[in-house]
Amino acid sequence: MHRVLIIGAGGVGNVVAHKCAAEPSVFGEILLASRTKSKCDAIALSIQKKYNRTIQTAAVDADNVPELVALIQSFQPAIVINVALPYQDLTIMDACLETKVHYLDTANYEPREVAKFEYKWQWAYQERFKQAGIMAVLGCGFDPGVTNIFTARAAKHFFDEIHYLDIVDCNAGNHGKAFATNFNPEINIREITQNGRYYENGLWIETKPLEIHQPVNYPEIGPRESYLLYHEELESLVIHFPTLKRARFWMTFSENYLTHLRVLQNVGMTSIQPVKYKGIEIIPIEFLKALLPDPSSLAENYTGQTSIGCQIRGIKDGKPRTYFIYNNCDHAACYQEVGAQGVSYTTGVPAMLGALMVLTGKWSGAGVWNVEQFDPDPFLDLLGKYGLPWHEILDYKLDFD
C-alpha cells in the first residue's frame, strides 16, 4: 500500500479521489488538497458514505512551492497526482523534485499571461528528474492520455508504420444550461479560441480558430460537426511516432455553444488582458469564469454520451491498414457512480490508473515521460475494469477526409 497526494478538488479531483479510495490495496492513505479545503471536505464526506473509508484533506496554495513542500514532507506520499490548474504544473513539479516524490498530471503547463500550452517547459525538467531518481508522467487524462496510449497500442500490435492519425472527441451530452463549459471555463475557452494547428509532412500548419470543420460519424452517436483544434498530445506523438505524415485533432461543439462564444469574444469577455473597472484591474475571462456554472455542478442532470477515439492509417506487412479505437462514456452512469459528469470521469479515471501503473511498477524509469512512451498493454488491460471500456475495429474508416 502507498500514500497518494491529490492536488485539486474540482470535478476531476473528485473522480480521482473516489477511484483511488476504491483501491485500498494500492492507495493505502489518501490526502486531498486544494486552495479551498471545504471542497476537499465535501469529496471526503462522499467517499466516507460510499466506501466507508476516511481520507485526509488539507488546504494548500499550489502556486507556493514552500507550502507544497511542507505538505509533501508532512504526508510523505509516494506520488503526487496534479489535477489543479495547468498554470501550477511547474510549481508542483518543483515541489516533487525537492522532496523526491513521483509526479503525474493530466494537462501540460501554460503560463497565465499567455494563452499558449506546450511541453517545452516540462520537458526541460528531464535531467533533474533523472538525477533525483523519480518519475514525472505528463498528460495522463483521456486526451491527452488515453488517446496517446491508444496510438501506442496501434503501433505495437497493428502497424509497422503509422502514417495518419486523427483524434476525434465528441461530447453529445446535454446539461440543460444555456452556456457552460465541461471543465475549467478559463482553460477551456483559452484553448478553443486559439489558432488551430495540425502536423503534416514535417511541418506545423496553422489555421484560424475553428476554421476547418466537417462532420464525423461517432459510434452510437452518429454524425456531429467536428472542428480542428490544436491539442497538446499532437506535440509529443509526432516526436515519438516519427513515421507520422499527418496528425490532427477534432472536437465537437454545438451551434448554440459557438454562438455564445462568438458573442463573448466580440464583447471582449474571453480576453486574458487586464482591464480597469472602477479603478480595479480585472481579467475578463476570469470574471466570466465566476459567472459561468461550475463544471462539477453540471453532473446531476447531464444526459448523453462522450465518444473519444483515434482513427489511424498506415501499413502492416507492406499493405495499407485502417484502424479505429475508441471509448464511449455515459454522463448519467458517471454521476450514479461517483457524482461526476463524463468529461471529468474520462480525465480522472486515467489519472488514477496512471498512478497505479507507477506504484505497481508497470511503468518505471526516472525522468520526464509522456504516456505513449510506456507499454500500453497493462494500462489498457485495466481501463475497462475501472469504468472506461474501449473498442477497436480493424479496416474501419470514419466518414470524414
Top-confidence residue, 291 or 338: 338
Average pLDDT over residues 338-349: 96
pLDDT value, residue 115: 66
- Among the ranges given (28-37, 148-157, 342-351, 389-398), the one the predictor scored with the smallest mean pLDDT: 389-398
- Is the pLDDT assigned to residue 129 strictly greater than 70? yes
* Non-local CB neighbours of 26 within 8 Å, separated by 6+ positions: 1, 2, 20, 356, 359, 360
- Is the pLDDT assigned to residue 183 strictly greater than 70? no
Same structural domain for residues 27 and 171? no
- pLDDT for 55-77, tens place per residue? 999 999 999 999 999 999 999 99
- Is the pLDDT assigned to residue 216 strictly greater than 80? yes
- pLDDT for 72-91, tens place per residue? 999 999 999 999 999 999 99
The pLDDT-based confidence of 2 (bands split at 50, 70, 90) is: very high
pLDDT value, residue 175: 84
Which residue among 116, 138, 160 closes a domain? 138
- Asked whether residue 353 is domain-assigned, the answer is no
DSSP bridge pairs for 102: 79
- Among the ranges given (112-116, 232-236, 289-293, 308-312), the one the predictor scored with the smallest mean pLDDT: 112-116
Same structural domain for residues 233 and 331? yes
* Non-local CB neighbours of 395 within 8 Å, separated by 6+ positions: 321, 322, 323
Which residue among 138, 169, 184 closes a domain? 138
pTM listed for this prediction: 0.94
The pLDDT-based confidence of 256 (bands split at 50, 70, 90) is: confident
pLDDT value, residue 261: 79
- pLDDT for 224-255, tens place per residue? 999 999 999 999 999 999 999 999 999 998 88
Q: Which three cell numbers stand for residue 71?
A: 505538505
Q: Among 6, 33, 14, which residue's Cα sits nearest to residue 183? A: 14
pLDDT value, residue 176: 78
- Is the pLDDT assigned to residue 118 strictly greater than 70? yes
CA 330 distance to own-chain centroid: 17
- Asked whether residue 315 is domain-assigned, the answer is yes
- Is the pLDDT assigned to residue 220 strictly greater than 90? yes
- Among the ranges given (181-195, 275-289, 298-312, 358-372), the one the predictor scored with the smallest mean pLDDT: 181-195
Average pLDDT over residues 296-316: 91
pLDDT value, residue 332: 96
CA 226 distance to own-chain centroid: 19
Q: Which domain holds residue 63?
A: 2-138
Backbone angles phi, psi at 75, to 5 degrees: -95, -30
Question: Which CATH number fits the domain that encloses residue 262?
Answer: 3.30.360.10
pLDDT value, residue 185: 72
Residue located via cell numbers 498512478 = 355
Same structural domain for residues 69 and 39? yes
Q: Provide the b/e sequence for 82-113 (b: ≥16 CB within 10 Å).
A: bbbbbbbbbbbbbbbbebebbbbbbbbbbeee
- Asked whether residue 357 is domain-assigned, the answer is no
Separation CA 334–CA 92 (nearest Å): 29
Separation CA 190–CA 259 (nearest Å): 16
- Asked whether residue 163 is domain-assigned, the answer is yes
Question: Which CATH number fits the domain that encloses residue 72?
Answer: 3.40.50.720
- Is the pLDDT assigned to residue 298 strictly greater than 80? no
The pLDDT-based confidence of 398 (bands split at 50, 70, 90) is: confident
- Asked whether residue 373 is domain-assigned, the answer is no
Kindly calculate the radius of gyration of the chain based on its CA atoms and give it in whole angstroms: 20
Backbone angles phi, psi at 10, to 5 degrees: -85, -155
Provide the domain count of the chain. Answer: 2
Same structural domain for residues 304 and 215? yes
pLDDT value, residue 301: 84
- Asked whether residue 379 is domain-assigned, the answer is no
Average pLDDT over residues 111-132: 90
- Asked whether residue 93 is domain-assigned, the answer is yes
pLDDT value, residue 400: 67
Q: Among 81, 70, 66, 65, which residue's Cα sits nearest to residue 31? A: 81
pLDDT value, residue 323: 96
- Is the pLDDT assigned to residue 315 strictly greater than 90? yes
pLDDT value, residue 279: 83
The chain-wide mean pLDDT, for the chain, equals 93
| DSSP β-ladder status, 2-7 and 79-82 | parallel
